[in-house]
Amino acid sequence: MTFHDRLKQGSPLLATFVKTPHPMVIEVLGGTALDALILDCEHSPFGWADIDRAVLAARAVGKPILARLPDDQPTGLLKLLDMGADGVVVPHVSTARQARDIVRAAHYGDGGRGFATTTRAGGYGRLGMKEHLDASAAPTILVQIEDPAAVDNIDDIVAVPGISGVFIGPADLAIAYGVNDLSAPRVIDAMTGVIASARKAALPVACFAGSSGAVKALYDRG
């Protein structure tokens, strides 16, 4: 079962951000009970060679791996998926149009993702065209909700076909709302609205948790 399939099942999953650009970190975390690893390429010094080695290490230890890219540019999505990553986390997605562009860039056809089987994802040429298309049909795409505009547009964002789930960024939301407390009422209200909209659209919700207590609280909220 792929990570995307497990995500769709709706059962609780636990992942961690990886901040250190060294494949040994991936190798060590591969022996844990974590459900997935997420390379933090937005706030850590990952270059493309580092990402490639990390994805290779994750595949070697059989651990699903995603990457949070620094932006939503199609070239980044293409490189990451060609490397064989299980999916992508895209920061600061604020509109449905932006979400649609991300989905389009991550899928073949309709002028979106460029096609090649000479990549790790394509088995370095061993996969036939149809086999590669089938294997790449459902990448995990998590859009990060981190801005007031995203909260305002959440119903339209979660309605975009191809989105796998939403990832709430409470710290960025707090800063955007002018507070320095993740438990501020405005932040909690925004998160509650995002969770409700995602659940209505049958999409899973992810969120950063800084402690085991926070993990339980988030699970309890859905």
How far is it, in rounded angstroms, from Cα 131 to Cα 58?
Answer: 22
The tens digit of pLDDT for each residue in 19-32 reads 999 999 999 999 99
132 a catalytic residue: no
The mean pLDDT of the chain is: 92
What is the pLDDT averaged over residues 196-219? 92
Q: Which domains does the chain have, with CATH numbers?
A: 3-221 (3.20.20.60)
CA distance linking residue 84 with residue 215, whole number of Å? 29
The pLDDT of residue 157: 99
Catalytic choice (4, 43, 107, 132): 43
For position 135, what pLDDT does the model report?
A: 60
Average pLDDT over residues 41-57: 98
- The sign of the CA dihedral 48, 51, 57, 62 is negative
Question: Given this model, what pLDDT does residue 134 score?
Answer: 64
The mean pLDDT of 26-50, rounded to a whole number, is: 98
74 phi and psi, to 5 degrees? -60, -35
Q: Helix or strand or coil: residue 180?
A: coil
pLDDT in the model for residue 132:
56
Q: What is the mean pLDDT of residues 144-153?
A: 98
pLDDT over threshold 80, residue 220? yes
Q: What is the pLDDT of residues 86-141, one digit of tens each?
A: 999 999 999 999 999 999 998 877 757 767 776 777 666 676 667 656 666 678 99
What is the average per-residue pLDDT within 53-62? Answer: 98
pLDDT-above-70 percentage for the chain: 91
DSSP 113: B
The average pLDDT across 162-191 equals 96
How is 126-179 classified by DSSP, letter by letter?
Answer: TS-HHHHHHHTS--EEEEEE-SHHHHHTHHHHHTSTT--EEEE-HHHHHHHTT-
